[in-house]
Each structure stands twice: as C-alpha cells, then as structure tokens.
Amino acid sequence: MPALPRLLAALALIACAVLTLAPPAHAHQGVRPTLHHDGHGSVWVTVTWDDGHPIDAPSIATMSATSGTGDAVPVAPLRALPHDPATLAYAATLPSGRWSVTVDIAAPGVGFCTATLAVGPAAPAQTHDCAPPPAAAPPVAASGPAVPLTVLATATVLAALAITALAVTTRSRRRR
C-alpha cells in the first residue's frame, strides 16, 4: 500500500478516535418529586426525571412527618401504585393538624421534598412541586462563543497529522 493512502487511513482512524472522546449525551441525573395531599391525611408523591421525562422504573422513597404539636410519624416507606411505578403513596393517613412532611427518594434517582400540609375536615387538597431552584446561567465570555474542547483537540490533531503528511510526502518526493 503506497504511503499516502496509508497516511490518509491513519488520519481517518485518528480522527474517529478523537471524535469518540466527545462528552456523552445528556443523561438523567436526578428526580423531581411532586408532593400531593388530599386535605384529609392521604399523602402521595409523583416522580419525574429532573428534565420532566416520565419515570417507568420502580422507585424507592421514604416519608417522615412532624406535627406542629410535636407528634411524629417515623420514617416509613412509600409504596408504588401497581399501575404506576412513578406514583408512591403513604400507606397510612396523617391525623388532623399542621404537618411538616419530608420525602426522600433514593431510586431510580435522588430527590428530596419538604412541605407543610394542613390536615382536617375543611383542609384543601395541596400539591407541592419540589423542583430544585433553577441553576444560575453560566457567565458569557466577553470574547464571543466558546469552542468545545473536543473541536479544538480534533483540529489540533488533524493539523499536526496534515503537517506530518506533508513533510513525509515532500521528503519521499525528494528521494526519487
């Protein structure tokens, strides 16, 4: 095989290797719980991925609660509904009063929610979206848009290979 085709094949192979070093696509990182309450003591949580996509895997979560009078519900598991693995319910009901409820989700991602619920005959149903606060936008560079590191690395490697190929080709022509 002549030198130039071998060199081009090597360049293509190296370019493919460098391009595979690109960062992975966005994956789900955490969960976003929404705490629901019917006003009469029933509590349940619906869970989505932090980007809003639905969850179809089994979820693991616990709930604890403390009333304004000091009564406490110890940590209790929340159970998934048979037809919806992303809806987790507390098996008992909270007695009348004001309750500070905490839900911790351990799988399929990590999530947390705390809300104050009013329980009683005239208490309204409540929903608390426990989305994390929006992240601050990254500062914009004054010099213009940033170039991804993989693009810079690929360009550098390809430039170095092109210079090497040119040097090898020129040297081989001088020998003839």
Look at residues 101, 125, 97 and name the one whose alpha carbon lies nearest to residue 113.
101
The mean per-residue pLDDT over the stretch 20-30 comes to: 57
Q: Is 167 left (phi over 0), alpha (psi -120 to 50) or beta?
A: alpha
With bands split at pLDDT 50, 70 and 90, how would you rate the model's confidence at 58? confident
Domain ranges of the chain: 31-129, 148-176
pLDDT at 133: 59
pLDDT, mean over the chain: 79
Could you give the percent of the chain with pLDDT greater than 70? 63
The pLDDT tens digits of the residues spanning 130-160 come to 876 565 555 555 554 555 666 666 767 777 7
Query: What is the spatial distance between Cα 94 and Cα 113, in angstroms, rounded to a whole number?
Result: 17
pLDDT at 149: 64
Look at residues 9, 5, 14 and name the one whose alpha carbon lies nearest to residue 153.
14
Query: What is the spatial distance between Cα 150 and Cα 28, in angstroms, rounded to a whole number?
Result: 22
Tell me the two tokens of residue 122: 């005239």
Query: What is the spatial distance between Cα 158 and Cα 86, in angstroms, rounded to a whole number?
Result: 48
Helices 3-19, 149-175: crossing angle, 10 deg rounding: 170
User: What CATH architecture applies to the domain 31-129?
Assistant: Sandwich (2.60)
With bands split at pLDDT 50, 70 and 90, how would you rate the model's confidence at 25? very low
Its pTM stands at 0.61
